[in-house]
């Protein structure tokens, strides 16, 4: 096979690997941000409930040997690029070993893509669109490698490519430890194990279902029931939104009940400071749910506009724009949010949280037991696995 006949597929394979590095880098970043509470908004690749990268990242299949699949994909594609560059400048007599390694890496990429694609189709309730892109790119890389090298090499294992592969494998574990520590701190996964141990030791409480905003199966049918108490003006509560939704999307046997526990003495007798804004925001979400069945939409929209809710006057002035975004009547939302019915409902939720001796938000209970760091995906995965 002549060089001119193989140049196009060779370039195609390298180009696909380079593009795949970019996609894997983005997926890796979002994996760490989601798992360690740094994601503050909707991900670029969260298109819908059916096509969602965050759901895949929160699933138990997102890591292999403790290393994110995105990092394995990144390392494998980098390895292919390095090997291809090395092969291009090597002497003809030494190329068989490098071409053997190139075809092996390409085969591993395709094999891993087929396995992960099968898992997505069978075990997950949503599809990761950027993951699908990387699967296609791995097929393109393998096709280009086969067309470039399969007809013009003899199988040969050389020490140098094996050493490079070993260094890349070790590098994956080292890079993962460094990046994980950057997001989770030096304790890393030890924190999740400690949280699990504390959760197991905590007393089991009977928490009455008090008109929550909920998603997932009914309590009786759920393997895991998460009860979250939060305030709409709490930055940590905002940062919990994306990880919690991602975990729910990847674990359809889990139920989430969201209760408002406003850090606002207007409706919460456990709080001395009275600002009025947190209680009003809680009532707006309650009304959006009860009057228009758009509670979760209101929940997300209000957290998205977190910086705006400085005062109750600012919240009240924004009701028309909130109503417009939700597609509901502004006057009806205003009237409901000032009603005694809404005030009573939020007061009951606040009283429920206070009866559980809450000390701040967000606070999460898992199957009736308080769960430390209960909005972080590694902790939730540890609990789910233990069940």
| 257 and 308 within one domain | yes
| 179 and 54 within one domain | yes
Asked if residue 193 is part of any domain, the answer here is: no
| 366 and 225 within one domain | yes
| 310 and 348 within one domain | yes
Half-sphere exposure of 277 (CA within 13 A, CB side): 19
Give φ, ψ of 112 to 5 degrees.
-65, -40
| 153 and 65 within one domain | yes
- Structural domain of 67: 3-184
Beginning with the edge strand found earlier in the chain, give each strand of the sheet holding 363-366 in spatial order: 213-215, 254-260, 224-230, 363-366, 369-370
Please report, for the domain that includes residue 96, its CATH number. Answer: 1.20.1440.130
| 30 and 156 within one domain | yes
pLDDT of residue 1: 42
pLDDT in tens, 82-133: 999 988 887 777 777 888 888 999 999 999 999 998 888 887 777 889 999 9
| 158 and 52 within one domain | yes
Asked if residue 191 is part of any domain, the answer here is: no
| 172 and 94 within one domain | yes
| 250 and 102 within one domain | no
Give the separation between CA 281 and CA 289, rounded to whole angstroms.
Answer: 13
pLDDT in tens, 342-361: 999 999 999 999 999 998 99
Asked if residue 211 is part of any domain, the answer here is: yes
Asked if residue 258 is part of any domain, the answer here is: yes
Angle between helix axes 3-35 and 377-386 (nearest 10 degrees) is: 80
| 30 and 161 within one domain | yes
Is residue 129 a contact partner of residue 47, using CB atoms and an 8 Å limit?
yes
pLDDT at 4 over 70: no
Return the CA Rg of the chain.
26
Lowest-confidence segment of 66-75, 123-132, 180-189, 232-241 by average pLDDT: 180-189
Give the separation between CA 168 and CA 200, rounded to whole angstroms.
Answer: 38
- Residue 178: count other Cβ atoms within 10 Å of its Cβ: 9
Give the separation between CA 303 and CA 306, rounded to whole angstroms.
Answer: 5
Asked if residue 38 is part of any domain, the answer here is: yes
Asked if residue 179 is part of any domain, the answer here is: yes
Give φ, ψ of 225 to 5 degrees.
-115, 120
pTM: 0.80
For 231-381, strand residue ranges (E) read: 254-260, 363-366, 369-370
Instruction: Report cis status (omega within 30 of 0) of the bond before 32.
Output: no
Final residue before a domain boundary, out of 184, 213, 248: 184
Asked if residue 195 is part of any domain, the answer here is: no
pLDDT in tens, 245-258: 889 988 989 999 99
**Residue in the block written with tokens 């393997």:** 223
Final residue before a domain boundary, out of 184, 214, 236: 184
Asked if residue 198 is part of any domain, the answer here is: no
Give φ, ψ of 380 to 5 degrees.
-65, -40
Please report, for the domain that includes residue 310, its CATH number. Answer: 3.40.30.10
Mean pLDDT along residues 126-142 = 92
Give the separation between CA 129 and CA 223, rounded to whole angstroms.
Answer: 28
| 268 and 134 within one domain | no
Is residue 233 a contact partner of residue 306, using CB atoms and an 8 Å limit?
yes
Q: How many domains does the chain have?
A: 2
Final residue before a domain boundary, out of 184, 215, 248: 184
| 116 and 223 within one domain | no
């Amino acid at each position: 096979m002549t060089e001119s006949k193989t140049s196009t597929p060779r370039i195609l394979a390298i180009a696909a690997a380079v593009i795949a590095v970019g996609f894997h880098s983005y997926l890796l970043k979002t994996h760490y941000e989601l798992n360690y509470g740094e994601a503050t908004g909707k991900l670029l690749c969260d298109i819908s409930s059916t096509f969602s990268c965050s759901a895949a990242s929160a699933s138990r299949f997102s890591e292999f040997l403790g290393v994110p699949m995105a990092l394995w994909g990144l390392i494998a594609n980098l390895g292919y690029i390095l090997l291809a560059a090395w092969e291009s400048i090597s002497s003809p007599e030494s190329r068989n070993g490098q071409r053997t390694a190139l075809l092996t890496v390409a085969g591993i990429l395709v094999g891993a893509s087929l396995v992960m694609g099968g898992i997505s189709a069978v075990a997950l309730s949503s599809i990761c669109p950027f993951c699908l892109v990387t699967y296609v790119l791995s097929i393109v890389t393998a096709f280009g490698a086969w067309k470039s090298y399969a007809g013009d090499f003899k199988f040969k294992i050389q020490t140098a490519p094996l050493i490079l592969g070993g260094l890349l494998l070790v590098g994956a574990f080292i890079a993962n430890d460094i990046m994980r520590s950057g997001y989770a701190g030096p304790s890393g996964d030890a924190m999740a194990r400690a949280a699990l141990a504390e959760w197991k030791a905590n007393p089991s409480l009977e928490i009455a279902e008090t008109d929550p905003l909920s998603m997932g199966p009914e309590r009786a049918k759920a393997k895991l029931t998460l009860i979250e108490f939060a305030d709409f003006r709490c930055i940590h509560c905002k940062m919990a939104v994306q990880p919690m939704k991602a975990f729910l999307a990847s674990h359809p046997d889990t139920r989430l009940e969201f209760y408002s526990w406003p850090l606002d003495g207007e409706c919460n007798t456990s709080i001395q400071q009275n600002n009025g804004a947190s209680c009003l925001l809680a009532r707006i979400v309650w009304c959006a749910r009860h009057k228009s069945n758009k509670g979760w939409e209101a929940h997300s929209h209000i957290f998205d506009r977190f910086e705006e809710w400085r005062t109750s006057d600012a919240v009240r002035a924004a009701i028309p724009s909130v109503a417009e975004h939700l597609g509901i009547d502004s006057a009806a939302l205003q009237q409901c949010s000032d009603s005694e019915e809404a005030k009573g409902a939020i007061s009951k939720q606040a009283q429920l949280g206070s009866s559980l001796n809450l000390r701040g938000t967000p606070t999460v209970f898992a199957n009736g037991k308080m769960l430390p760091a209960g909005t972080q995906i590694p902790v939730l995965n540890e609990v789910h696995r233990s069940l």
